[in-house]
Structure formats: structure tokens, C-alpha cells
Structure 1
Amino acid sequence: MAIKRVLSVVAVPFALWAMTAAALAQEMVGAPRDGEIGLQPAASPIAHQIHGFYDLLLVIILSVVAVVGLLLLWVIIRYNRKANPTPSKVTHNTLLEVVWTTIPVIILVLIAVPSFRLLYAEDVVPPADLVVKVTGHQWYWTYEYPDLDGITFDAIMIPERLFDDPAAASEREEAARQVAAFLGRDKPVKLHRLLDTDTRLVVPVGKVVKVQVTSTDVIHSWAVPAFGVKIDAIPGRLNESWFKAEKTGTFYGQCSELCGQRHAFMPIAIEVVSQEEFDRWVKKAKAEYGMAAADEAARPLRLAAR
């Protein structure tokens, strides 16, 4: 009975912790969490392949370290001065030399084959359902949907002071409402310090998204770990990559190429939604950020210039 009481006392807080952790994980899908280690959960086919390759390398590296460590330990014990006062004068052993040459070659082949497959999968873009052009600036991103009436908007980091200053709580709430309005939602969204932007790249779940990346000033790098994407943004050059989000939610990345004073303050926020919600957002975004909206905004300027 005493054991049962102890188990029940232990089980209750553990169950509460598990439920809280599950709810937090659902709420913060695609975002890093305090106290976590390792890679972010994969949310695209390429990311799953990267994680699998990482696990393979980890097994190989740990195995090599274990074998070499045991050999070193054995040599230290077996051939120290006390155990072996007369050192060996052997300078050549054909069998050993063949073995320690062949084994590394086999290991490198085991690494090379999946590595080349992964590189090929990353480099060859399948037929795209959606094309997005990403342009890096010091220190923000511009997103353009060339096939959707040229929807174009900037994504600038939510100011850090809104999270650090208690007096700025109302401003942070207003920023959350503005992001929600951009997404076409009624409820304010949850914002994360140094990760959220005033707008988000919106893509549909389960669709191949081709990303065309460039820059207007220095070299940046557009990287989203959950999707297994990291591609340089180089002035005068258009690089391509792709991803296919497997679940809805908000996913984050950051510029991963040192690009100046505020390099650490140009995050990437991607909202993955259902196809129905994406279609509604596109209709709204065309009216606000499309070419027709831009032409309408420029009309008074053209009339004034005549």
C-alpha cells in the first residue's frame, strides 16, 4: 500500500508535466524551446533525410571513437614500461596496413552514398506548386509570389524591446494583433522574441514550394531548420531550393551568414496553413500587396507628375 501511495504521488505531477509539455509542443510547433537539445523536429521530407543522415554519422563517429579509445587504452595497459620493459622493434605489418586502410575506405563509402543521395534530393527541385522569391537586405527579408499577382511584402523583426520592457506589453499585444490581421485571423498570435516578424511567409501544407533566393547588398543565408533548408542569398545571383511542409503551424529560421551589425536580428517566420486558408489569404493579400494594389497606390503619383 505504501508503494502504491508513493507511485500515485509521483505519477500525478509527472502526468501534469507530460500534458503541459504536449500542449506546449503543440503551441510552439517549429519553434525552439528552453532546455531542449538536438535538432528541431523534422517537418519536411528533406529534413527527415537530413536527420537520418545525422543519426548514421553519429553511430559511425561514436563507433570509431569507441574502437580507437579502446585500442589506446589497451596499448597503454599492455605496452607501458612496467608491463613491457623491452619494446618491440616491428616496423612493418602488411596485414595491419591493409586492414587500417580498408576499414576507413569502407566507412567513407558508407558515408558518401547517402550523402550524395541527400545532396541530389536537395539540389533537384521537383515540379513546384508554389514559387516564392526571397530577397535579403540589411537586415530584413522581402517575399514575393510572382505567380500570384506579384504579392510582395517585407518581413521585419518585431522589436526586441517589446519583449524586454514590461511597459511595452500593450505594444506587443498590438504587434500580435497586426500579425494576426496579416494572416486573416481574429485572435492575436503568439510572438517569440528575436524570431517573429511583422509579416510571415505563408505557404500551404503538403505542397512543393520552390524558393528563389537573392540579395540586394551583401551575402545572407535563408535557413529554416525544420524544413532542412539553408541557401545563400548572393547579390546578382538567383539560387533555388525547395521544401514541402508536412504539418501546419509556425516555423522559424534565421539568417545564417554573417551580414553585418544586425545579422542576428533578421529572423524568418513561416506560417504553414491548409489549402483553404491559403486561398483565403491569397485573396486578401492580392488586394493589399499585389500588383493591382501597387498600381492603385501609384496612380495619384502618376497623375500628379503629369
Structure 2
Amino acid sequence: MAHPSQLGLQDAASPLMEELLRFHDHALMIVFLISVLVLYIIVAMVTTKLTNKYILDSQEIEIIWTILPAIVLILIAFPSIRILYMMDEINSPHLTIKAIGHQWYWSYEYTDYEDLAFDSYMAPTQDLTPGQFRLLEVDHRVVLPTESPVRVLVSSEDVIHSWAVPALGVKMDAVPGRLNQTAFTVSRTGLFFGQCSEICGANHSFMPIVVEAIPLKDFESWAMTLLEDL
């Protein structure tokens, strides 16, 4: 969860988000070095008249400003392609859930459990208890086990939505008539908040997502209890 005066992204709660944070820092350092180099050249040109014929017409300079951008692109492309393959790779998930977007709430189906499904609406402000977040809390949370690969099938009943939880490194569009999928592994227990990340209508900002990660043994107990209540 974000907090006041925070710098950077939210703390990672999945191996995928940890990789995204490393790539963010890697790319940010490259941008910083490029900015320092460009600033140095500008200052040098202004203060030392670094605009003589040798600088402007030098073949060595042309080679440098051709090769250097190519090296920068390689340093960015290789790590990003690796992460893209990691995001698309879904190997033997332990649990599959289906998230369906509606105007303006989410419904969830646990496909490995018969009849385990529910709707998730934003909790009204008057129903919140101390410590809960306004506009982010829901009446029914998505409960998932930790240290278990989870596959999420995402679709929509009406318009395009987007199922996004920043701390897990997940953002997948929910498109009507299409079934998209993503996968992640929650590495620690806790509550992780997200929201629809597509402008889906008047109440777009009122369809939050709350993922509650608990140990596997507790998840089994929760699933059995919920099935009995249904």
C-alpha cells in the first residue's frame, strides 16, 4: 500500500514485481547517465565554445553518437524481453480464478471449486471500520494462497475494464467476448489493493480490487467455509 511522501513504486509482493522494480531502477540509471552526459555537453558548449570544426565535423564523434544509442537500446531491450517472457509464462498453476468486469464491480469464480463464486462491490463509506481505506475496500475480497502459482482469467460483460494490482505486478485488460489470462505468485501474506485501470464509464473510479493473501492451509479452510455458507 502506498503511504505519504513515498518515493518509487509500491513494495513488491510477487517475484514478477521484484523483477519489474529491478528493471525500473536499471532503466532509470541509464536515463540519469544520458541526462548527465547531455547536460555536460550543453554546459561545455556554452562555457568553453565547444563548437569548433573538429567537434562538429569529426568522424569519431559521429561514430560515438551512432554506437552509443545502439548500446543503450541493447541494455534496455534484453532485460525487458526477458521480463515479457516471464509475464507470459504460465506453468502448472495451483489455482485458477476468473475475474469478470461489470459496470461497476467485479465478479470472481474459483474454477477449481464448484459453485465458489461471488460479486465484489466497493464498500460504502458508512460501512468502513477503523483502518479500512475509503474507495479501496470491498465487501468481498479475492482470497489467494501464498507461495502458489495463480492464474487469473480476465473478461468483461459490458465494456473494457482492466484488472490491476500494482504490488503484484499485474495489469490485464478485461475485453468483452475475449478471455485474457495472466499469472503470478504472491510471496507474502497481506492485503494488496488495486483498481480498474481503464476509463470504463461514470463510476470507473469506484470498482476497486482487494487481494488478501493467506497461507495455503488457511486458504483451504476459507474455501470450505465459504462453500458451506453458499
Q: Structure 1 length normalisation: TM-score?
A: 0.72
Match of 1:172 among 118, 123, 128: 128
- Give 1:88 shift: 4.4
Summarize the alignment of residues 23-34 of structure 1 with structure 2, pairs less than 5 Å apart. 31-34=1-4
Summarize the alignment of residues 1-306 of structure 1 with structure 2, pairs less than 5 Å apart. 31-79=1-49, 88=53, 92-160=57-125, 162=126, 171-173=127-129, 190-289=131-230
Number of matched residues?
230
Gaps of 5+ in 2: none
Greater helix proportion: 1
Letter in 2 for 1:78: T
Distance 1:59 1:194, change over 3 A: same
Contact persistence 2:128–2:134 (CA under 8 A): no
**CA offsets 1:126-163 (integer angstroms, 9 cap, x no match):** 21000000000111110100111131101100123x2x
Distance 1:91 1:42, change over 3 A: closer
Which stretch of the first structure deviates more once superposed, 111-120 or 277-286?
277-286
Distance 1:33 1:119, change over 3 A: same
Aligned equivalents of 1:198, 1:37: Cα separation in 2? 30
Aligned equivalents of 1:34, 1:194: Cα separation in 2? 17
- Give 1:284 shift: 1.2
Aligned equivalents of 2:219, 2:53: Cα separation in 1? 74
Aligned equivalents of 1:34, 1:109: Cα separation in 2? 36
Distance 1:90 1:48, change over 3 A: closer
Q: Secondary structure at the match of 1:100?
A: helix
- Between the two proteins, what is the percent identity of the paired residues? 40
Gaps of 5+ in 1: 1-30, 163-170, 177-189, 290-306
Q: RMSD of the alignment, in Å?
A: 1.7
Q: Secondary structure at the match of 2:85?
A: helix
Letter in 1 for 2:103: Q
- Give 1:96 shift: 1.0
- Give 1:92 shift: 3.1
